């Protein structure tokens, strides 16, 4: 979830939950495209969704918004895949801009929803954990079929994804890792959940217990991760829109292979988090 600075400031100053301000490209249709190996982008212009294809069915990661679900479905079909072949649904985190479309996608595909334990209550309750009464941040409730923990794997023939808990942004924030082969090389892919502060209260009253410890554990973990192809639920992360345009213009190189991008990106998020925490603590917020 991304907020305009003025909204974040207003939120920080008043400590009353501000309604989420959707960005204009969140529900804007986008052309689907091939990322690498068996991975396709099927999201909207602003919100990522990824299809991992296999010989016995596919895995869809993220549902974007309730409105975005129809865009994802059209994109899957446009690529020549069948909705009914989507067997597993995954989520980066239980915020309405990434989980809001899951209920429709689950109904239309018949897929099983697999989710990290920390996000199950929010997914099934249709709320933003710690801001349960904020209607603007709610999502259609969706039943979780399999509850997973850090390090668990999700597989279908030709697909294996590893769930890396990177909590803080949400309690079950999950960065999904996979290996893909392309042009005789194997790459480490990570669909990084997020670790922005966004709407979260990181000083008392905390968004949820242990949120600060969770963010710090996430930053400790990301430092150990090797990522060749960084992807994300927001297209402004890792310059994904520019990479898409570059891929279209030049078929000879794959711009999504960008091994230098992940560490500086997460280092900046860590610095932002610690700065925000210091400022809010100093203000007694």
Residues at the interface with Zn ion (CB under 5 A): 1, 95
State which residue, 1 or 227, has the beta carbon closest to Zn ion.
1
Cα–Cα distances in angstroms (integers) from residue 170 to residues 67, 124, 166, 185, 191, in the given order: 22, 15, 9, 34, 15
Cα–Cα distances in angstroms (integers) from residue 256 to residues 108, 185, 217, 225, 251, in the given order: 30, 14, 27, 17, 12
Query: Hey, how many other C-beta atoms are within 10 angstroms of the C-beta on 60?
Result: 29
Query: Across the strands, what pairs with 113?
Result: 89
State which residue, 1 or 197, has the beta carbon closest to Zn ion.
1
Cα–Cα distances in angstroms (integers) from residue 172 to residues 36, 144, 178, 218, in the given order: 27, 13, 19, 11
State the minimum distance, in angstroms, from the CB of residue 259 to Zn ion.
25
State the minimum distance, in angstroms, from the CB of residue 101 to Zn ion.
14
What is the end-to-end Cα distance of the chain in Å, rounded? 21
State the minimum distance, in angstroms, from the CB of residue 65 to Zn ion.
12
State which residue, 268 or 283, has the beta carbon closest to Zn ion.
268
State which residue, 58 or 95, has the beta carbon closest to Zn ion.
95
What gap in Å lies between CA 173 and CA 255, rounded to an integer? 26
State the minimum distance, in angstroms, from the CB of residue 110 to Zn ion.
27
State the minimum distance, in angstroms, from the CB of residue 223 to Zn ion.
22
State the minimum distance, in angstroms, from the CB of residue 122 to Zn ion.
11
What gap in Å lies between CA 198 and CA 258, rounded to an integer? 26
Where does residue 151 fall: left (phi above 0), alpha (psi -120 to 50 degrees), or beta otherwise? left
Tell me, letter by letter, the H, E, C secondary structure of 117-158.
HHHHHHHHHCCCCCCCCCHHHCCCCCCCCEEECCCCEEEECC
State which residue, 57 or 118, has the beta carbon closest to Zn ion.
118
State which residue, 75 or 194, has the beta carbon closest to Zn ion.
194
Max CA pair span of the chain: 55
Handedness of CA 56, 153, 89, 256 (dihedral sign): negative
State which residue, 137 or 227, has the beta carbon closest to Zn ion.
137
State the minimum distance, in angstroms, from the CB of residue 193 to Zn ion.
8
State which residue, 1 or 190, has the beta carbon closest to Zn ion.
1
User: What is the helix (H) or strand (E) element at residue 12, kind and residue range?
Assistant: helix 5-14
What gap in Å lies between CA 164 and CA 220, rounded to an integer? 13
State the minimum distance, in angstroms, from the CB of residue 137 to Zn ion.
10
């Amino acid at each position: 979830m991304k907020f305009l600075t003025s909204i974040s400031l207003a939120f920080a100053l008043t400590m009353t939950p501000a309604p989420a301000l959707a960005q204009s490209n969140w529900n804007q249709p986008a052309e689907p495209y091939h990322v690498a190996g068996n991975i396709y982008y099927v999201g909207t212009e602003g919100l990522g969704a990824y299809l991992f294809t296999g010989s016995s069915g596919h895995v869809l990661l993220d549902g974007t918004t309730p409105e975005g679900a129809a865009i994802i479905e059209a994109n899957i079909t446009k690529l020549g895949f069948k909705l009914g072949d989507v067997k597993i649904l995954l989520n980066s985190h239980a915020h309405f801009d990434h989980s809001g479309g899951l209920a429709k996608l689950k109904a239309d595909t018949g897929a099983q929803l697999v989710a990290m334990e920390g996000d199950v209550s929010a997914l099934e309750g249709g709320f933003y954990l710690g801001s349960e009464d904020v209607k603007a941040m709610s999502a259609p409730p969706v039943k979780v079929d399999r509850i997973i923990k850090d390090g668990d794997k999700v597989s279908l023939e030709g697909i294996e994804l590893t769930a890396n808990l990177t909590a803080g942004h949400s309690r079950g924030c999950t960065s999904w890792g996979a290996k893909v082969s392309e042009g005789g090389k194997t790459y480490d892919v990570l669909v990084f959940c997020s670790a922005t502060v966004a709407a979260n209260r990181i000083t008392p009253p905390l968004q949820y217990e242990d949120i600060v410890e969770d963010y710090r554990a996430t930053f400790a973990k990301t430092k150990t991760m090797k990522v060749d192809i960084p992807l994300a639920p927001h297209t402004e992360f890792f310059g994904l829109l520019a990479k898409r345009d570059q891929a279209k213009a030049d078929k000879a190189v794959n711009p999504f292979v960008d091994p230098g991008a992940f560490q500086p990106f997460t280092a900046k998020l860590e610095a932002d988090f610690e700065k925000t925490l210091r400022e809010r603590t100093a203000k007694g917020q």
